[in-house]
Amino acid sequence: MINIININKTFTTQSTNFHALKNINLTIKKGEVIYLKGVSGSGKTTLLNIIASTMKPTDGEVQVEGENIVSFSDIYSSEYRKNRVGLITQSFYLFDELSVEENLLVPVVIKDITKQEIEEQIEKSLKIANIFHKRAQKISTLSGGEKQRTVIARAIINNPDIILCDEPTANLDMENSLIFIEIIKRLKESGKTIIIATHDQLFEKQDFIDRIIFIEDGQI
């Protein structure tokens, strides 16, 4: 369970304070798929970054299975992201000159597991993301949809409990968006807690979405 309590986030510049999030309270059950709906600048990405512990709120708490991740040190935040969170973004952040398989090595080589276990985790995540057939190809040769599927495989390789998706279909055509949706359905069936932050109305029609949460001007 994710329990967001009185979260505020203020960005300070030389001339003004910008209140990106304002007193956010939200509970997300384990295994839920949440569609976080809002226009650009509404606060969706900021909220995801706080749940991912890549950003600290100005005040408030985010409790994940009873632990307040806001209080985590940088080291514990890194461990939390490595083991419990998968990130899927519209910017791929892949190494273009490496193969699909080599890109997936990055999050697993730092773990204390055997070579065989690494190979098994890579194969499993590539198959779930429907990109196993491209495992030896360089990222630079892939289509946008194939790159996104590689990002999905990388996000799930450590079997995280929570998957955070930030505008995941922004750079995809309809065919690849529908492929993405089918992958998300499979991940839900495996018990993952998934938050999809987007303004893509395609998600409004999906029956696997448990709740739509509207965010506007930093408020829900």
CATH of the domain at 179: 3.40.50.300
Looking only at the bridges linking them, the beta strands covering 59-64 and 162-166 are unpaired
Residue 220 is assigned to a structural domain of this protein: no
Residue 209 is assigned to a structural domain of this protein: yes
pLDDT tens per residue, range 156-200: 998 999 999 999 998 899 999 999 999 999 999 999 999 999 989
For residue 168, the enclosing domain spans: 2-214
Please tell me the total number of residues recorded for the chain in this structure: 220
The percentage of residues in the chain with a pLDDT greater than 90, rounded to a whole number, is: 81
Provide the pLDDT for residue 111.
65
All residue ranges of the chain with pLDDT < 70 are 109-112
Domain count, the chain: 1
Residue 149 is assigned to a structural domain of this protein: yes
Judge whether 184 and 196 are in contact, CB under 8 Å: yes
Residue 11 is assigned to a structural domain of this protein: yes
Provide the pLDDT for residue 109.
64
Residue 98 is assigned to a structural domain of this protein: yes
pTM of the entire structure?
0.92
Provide the pLDDT for residue 92.
87
| CA-closest candidate to residue 135, choices 159, 154, 116 | 154
Residue 219 is assigned to a structural domain of this protein: no
Provide the pLDDT for residue 204.
87
